[in-house]
């Protein structure tokens, strides 16, 4: 075996330069084999990073606890390093590439001393698909190696596809904890090495590069996911005329056997995984999963928008996942998984809040401390952003076509946030421009998926606020342009998917969710499905097309017509406030806000003022 399995000169040179800078003691080219996965796991077990779960309970699975300072994406440490500040736009942190590169070079110098540098060639999407893209991540984290194995397609097949001169996204990642310090002293390793005080998650869209330093967690470190498949890919997609979106894709089959594919953009921890795998409560309906977090959408030769799931696994929110709420996820998690920041049971299994109605009497919580189910200990046992990593292929409801290189034709797009007030259960856009408007003005309560104040409402357009790699107003314009290319105008959808907005999270006066959610969401999907065929009742309101309360099938569901009315209500005072808030928001996005969206706002304002 040669010590590098490729003759791609640019790749070899970049790996050599990275190694010269980071000074690892060893270089390992990942081949994607199971033996390699097992070695990465053993390395983590030996280092105290991971513990094996009881093989009788969770075969071939591990539990990892992170440093308490490194538990989620860090949006305030995430930068779009476009050549100009305008390129990053008002919603991204911008760093001048000329200034940040020397700073990063200093941080990366010697950062892998005493560690192995892993080279991970990966494909986002099925290898060889016209929609897929290749990346290479350099990392010093065996946790990243193991997770990338599950989340992407890794190894020699990718290098073969890349050939001698293929293009790829370059990602360099370091946890930032060398075992030999600058003054030459060795230091002990720790279970979750990281450098939380110096985190930088940097993206260079112009050169398709990512540099991530100081964090080992999730989207900060698994560079194929948010960094490549969303931030870099969104910028590339704009240039090349496609879309890289924070969306699940599901296949919905009616009792008559008709199938539609639905893509849905919800912000982090707002229900994508759950919707993608939901077990419908309405008889005869079937949901199958294509993807649960990211969708790449391109026009096919038939002129329709086709989507692939660029990932190969699920990195899902653990808390709240139960046999009751998401049985398909629970079945996916039975073996071959990585659990991060869950609690450990006394018999060597994992547990998190919401997994069972009653917690076990005793647990080891995610800091490794004893946890008792008594009044003295009310802290959660699993971190709110505890996650599972699972291979998509072992999901019982994965669709046969989930890895079809051609992708699936998208029939409908849903935009949804987590809003306690005024946003109705479901709305339909009048036309593509209005659909883009509904996506552009999305707002949602912040969740534990990113560091910051949970519950704070913020604008999160198309669920892409933390993930759009360029100016958000240009992104809106790109969405409008895609519609035009797809033949949509004020009267017809052309080849474009219909657009809807949903909100599972509206609360009543008592503070409780008004809508039962999860498998009951099929009742809303059924209406969406029928609307795509111009069936099902719909009413025109000031804020969109909305089903009359009786149009949502509530058969067998214990919900009053009063509650249904509340879920679908358009309250004039709240909407007058909402319009003012959208005006203020648009004003922050600058003069390049597309005119058609300003016009949508004017129309909305006129109609809401007339209420």
Catalytic positions, please? Answer: 270
Which phi and psi (to 5°) does residue 119 adopt?
Answer: -105, 115
319 binds, among ligand SPV, Mn ion, ligand GTP, none (CB under 5 to 8 A by kind): ligand GTP
Shortest Å, Cβ 508 to ligand GTP: 13
Cβ proximity to Mn ion: between 15 and 384 the closer is: 384
Residue 75 near Mn ion by CB under 5 A: no
110 binds, among ligand SPV, ligand GTP, Mn ion, none (CB under 5 to 8 A by kind): none
Token output for 23: 């000074």
Shortest Å, Cβ 459 to ligand SPV: 16
73 binds, among Mn ion, ligand GTP, ligand SPV, none (CB under 5 to 8 A by kind): ligand SPV
Only one residue has tokens 């008594």, namely 374
Cβ-proximal residues to 603 (8 Å cutoff; 6+ apart), any chain: none
Token output for 540: 């025109």
The answer to whether the CB of 426 falls within 8 A of the CB of 527 is yes
Neighbours of 583 (CB within 10 A): 14
517 binds, among ligand SPV, Mn ion, ligand GTP, none (CB under 5 to 8 A by kind): ligand GTP
513 binds, among ligand SPV, ligand GTP, Mn ion, none (CB under 5 to 8 A by kind): ligand GTP
Angle between helices 233-240 and 472-485 (to 10 degrees): 40
| Alpha-carbon gap, residue 141 to 115, rounded angstroms | 9
Token output for 211: 């540099």
| Alpha-carbon gap, residue 84 to 362, rounded angstroms | 54
The secondary structure of residue 77, as a DSSP letter, is G
Shortest Å, Cβ 342 to ligand GTP: 13
Residue 311 near Mn ion by CB under 5 A: no
Token output for 520: 């009951």
Q: Which residue is nearest to ligand GTP (CB)?
A: 517
Shortest Å, Cβ 293 to Mn ion: 4
Residue 218 near ligand SPV by CB under 6 A: yes
Cβ proximity to ligand GTP: between 18 and 215 the closer is: 215
Any idea how long the chain is?
A: 611
Cβ-proximal residues to 567 (8 Å cutoff; 6+ apart), any chain: 424, 425, 506, 514, 515, 549
- The correct pick among 67, 75, 288, 293 for binding Mn ion (CB under 5 A) is 293
Cβ proximity to ligand SPV: between 6 and 234 the closer is: 234
Residue 460 near Mn ion by CB under 5 A: no
N-term to C-term CA, the chain: 74
Shortest Å, Cβ 274 to ligand GTP: 4
266 binds, among ligand GTP, Mn ion, ligand SPV, none (CB under 5 to 8 A by kind): ligand GTP
Binding residues for Mn ion restricted to 258-287, rule: CB under 5 A: 268
Shortest Å, Cβ 273 to ligand GTP: 4
Sheet holding 362-364, edge to edge: 350-351, 343-345, 362-364, 370-372
Cβ proximity to ligand GTP: between 134 and 514 the closer is: 514
Helix H or strand E encompassing 479: helix 472-485
Shortest Å, Cβ 411 to ligand GTP: 20
The answer to whether the CB of 441 falls within 8 A of the CB of 433 is no
Q: Which residue is nearest to Mn ion (CB)?
A: 293
Cβ-proximal residues to 301 (8 Å cutoff; 6+ apart), any chain: none
Q: Residue 122, SS3?
A: strand
| Alpha-carbon gap, residue 204 to 221, rounded angstroms | 16
| Alpha-carbon gap, residue 596 to 601, rounded angstroms | 9
The residue ranges that bind ligand GTP (CB under 6 A) are 266, 268-274, 292-293, 316-317, 319-320, 325, 449, 504-505, 513, 517-518, 521
Q: Residue 14, SS3?
A: helix
Cβ proximity to ligand GTP: between 230 and 344 the closer is: 230
Token output for 208: 């398709």
Angle, alpha carbons 109-110-111 (nearest 5°): 90
- The correct pick among 36, 137, 245, 293 for binding ligand SPV (CB under 6 A) is 293
Cross-strand partners of 180:
186
Shortest Å, Cβ 341 to Mn ion: 16
Shortest Å, Cβ 302 to ligand GTP: 30
Cβ proximity to Mn ion: between 365 and 445 the closer is: 445
Stretch that binds ligand SPV, among 104-112, 181-189, 219-227, 277-285 (CB under 6 A): 219-227
Angle between helices 472-485 and 595-609 (to 10 degrees): 90
Cβ proximity to Mn ion: between 292 and 353 the closer is: 292
Shortest Å, Cβ 124 to ligand GTP: 16
- The correct pick among 225, 231, 304, 434 for binding ligand SPV (CB under 6 A) is 225
| Alpha-carbon gap, residue 242 to 126, rounded angstroms | 17
Closest C-alpha among 514, 517, 498 to residue 427: 498
Stretch that binds ligand SPV, among 9-17, 115-123, 217-225, 438-446 (CB under 6 A): 217-225
The footprint of ligand SPV on this chain (CB under 6 A) covers a number of residues equal to 9
Written in H, E and C, the secondary structure of 384-450 is CCCEEEEEHHHCCCECHHHHCCCCEECCEEEEECCCCCCCCCEEECCCHHHHHHHHHCCEEECCCCE
The secondary structure of residue 193, as a DSSP letter, is -
Q: Which residue is nearest to ligand SPV (CB)?
A: 219
Binding residues for ligand SPV restricted to 20-79, rule: CB under 6 A: 73
Sheet holding 295-299, edge to edge: 243-245, 295-299, 305-308, 408-409
483 binds, among ligand SPV, Mn ion, ligand GTP, none (CB under 5 to 8 A by kind): none
| Alpha-carbon gap, residue 396 to 579, rounded angstroms | 43
Shortest Å, Cβ 516 to ligand GTP: 7
219 binds, among ligand GTP, Mn ion, ligand SPV, none (CB under 5 to 8 A by kind): ligand SPV
Token output for 413: 């797009």
- The correct pick among 250, 333, 449, 488 for binding ligand SPV (CB under 6 A) is 449
The answer to whether the CB of 446 falls within 8 A of the CB of 453 is yes
274 binds, among ligand GTP, Mn ion, ligand SPV, none (CB under 5 to 8 A by kind): ligand GTP
| Alpha-carbon gap, residue 522 to 519, rounded angstroms | 6
Residue 268 near ligand SPV by CB under 6 A: yes
- The correct pick among 176, 205, 219, 224 for binding ligand SPV (CB under 6 A) is 219
Q: Residue 211, SS3?
A: strand
Give contact residues for ligand SPV (rule: CB under 6 A). 73, 218-219, 225-226, 268, 293, 315, 449
Give contact residues for Mn ion (rule: CB under 5 A). 268, 293
């Amino acid at each position: 075996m040669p010590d590098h399995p490729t003759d791609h000169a640019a790749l070899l040179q970049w790996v050599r330069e990275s190694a010269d800078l980071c000074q690892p003691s060893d270089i390992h080219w990942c081949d994607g084999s199971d033996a390699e996965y097992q070695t990465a796991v053993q390395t983590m077990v030996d280092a105290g990073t991971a513990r094996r779960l009881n093989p009788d309970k969770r075969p071939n699975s591990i539990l990892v606890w992170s440093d308490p300072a490194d538990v989620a994406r860090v949006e305030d440490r995430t930068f779009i390093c476009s050549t100009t500040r305008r390129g990053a736009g008002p919603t991204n942190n911008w760093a001048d590439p000329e200034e940040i590169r020397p700073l990063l070079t200093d941080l990366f110098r010697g950062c892998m001393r005493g560690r192995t540098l892993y080279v991970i060639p990966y494909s986002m999407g099925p290898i060889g698909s016209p929609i897929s893209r290749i990346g290479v991540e350099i990392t010093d984290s065996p946790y990243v190696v193991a997770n990338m194995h599950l989340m992407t397609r890794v190894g020699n097949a990718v290098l073969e596809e890349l050939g001698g001169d293929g293009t790829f996204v370059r990602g360099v990642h370091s946890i930032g904890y060398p075992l030999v310090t600058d003054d030459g002293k060795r230091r002990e390793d720790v279970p979750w090495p990281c450098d939380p005080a110096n985190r930088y998650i940097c993206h260079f869209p112009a050169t398709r590069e990512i540099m991530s330093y100081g964090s080992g967690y999730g989207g900060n470190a698994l560079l194929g996911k948010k960094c490549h498949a969303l931030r870099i890919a969104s910028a590339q997609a704009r240039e090349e005329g496609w879309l890289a979106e924070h969306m699940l894709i599901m296949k919905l089959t009616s009792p008559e056997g008709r199938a539609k594919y639905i893509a849905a953009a919800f912000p982090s921890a707002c229900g994508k995984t759950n919707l993608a795998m939901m077990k419908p409560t309405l008889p005869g309906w079937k949901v199958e999963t294509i993807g649960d977090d990211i969708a790449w959408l391109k026009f096919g030769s038939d002129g329709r928008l086709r989507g692939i799931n660029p990932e190969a696994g699920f990195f899902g929110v653990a808390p709240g996942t139960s046999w009751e709420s998401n049985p398909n996820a629970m079945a996916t998690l039975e073996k071959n998984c990585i659990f991060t920041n869950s609690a450990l049971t006394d018999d060597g299994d994992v547990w998190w809040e919401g997994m069972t109605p009653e917690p076990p009497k005793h647990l080891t919580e995610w800091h490794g401390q004893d946890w008792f189910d008594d009044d003295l200990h009310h802290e959660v046992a699993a971190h709110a952003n505890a996650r599972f990593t699972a291979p998509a292929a072992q999901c019982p409801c994965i669709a046969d076509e989930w890895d079809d290189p051609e992708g699936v034709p998208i029939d409908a797009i849903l935009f949804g946030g987590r809003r306690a007030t005024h946003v109705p259960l479901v709305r339909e856009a009048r036309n593509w421009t209005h659909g883009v408007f509904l996506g552009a003005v999305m707002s949602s309560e912040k969740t534990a998926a990113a560091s910051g104040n949970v519950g704070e409402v913020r604008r999160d357009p198309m669920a892409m606020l933390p993930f759009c790699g360029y100016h958000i107003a240009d992104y809106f314009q790109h969405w409008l342009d895609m519609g035009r290319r797809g033949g949509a105008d004020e009267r017809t959808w052309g080849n474009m998917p219909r657009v809807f907005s949903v909100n599972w999270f509206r609360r009543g006066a008592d503070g409780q969710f008004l809508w039962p959610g999860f498998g009951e969401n099929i009742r809303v999907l059924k209406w969406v499905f029928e609307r795509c065929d111009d069936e099902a009742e719909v009413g025109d309101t000031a804020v969109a097309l909305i089903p009359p309360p009786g149009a949502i099938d509530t058969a067998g569901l214990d919900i009053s017509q009063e509650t249904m009315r509340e879920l679908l209500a358009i309250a004039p005072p709240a909407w007058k406030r909402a319009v003012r808030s959208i005006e203020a928001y648009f004003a922050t996005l600058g003069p390049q806000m597309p005119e058609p969206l300003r016009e949508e706002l004017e129309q909305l304002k006129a109609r809401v003022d007339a209420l």
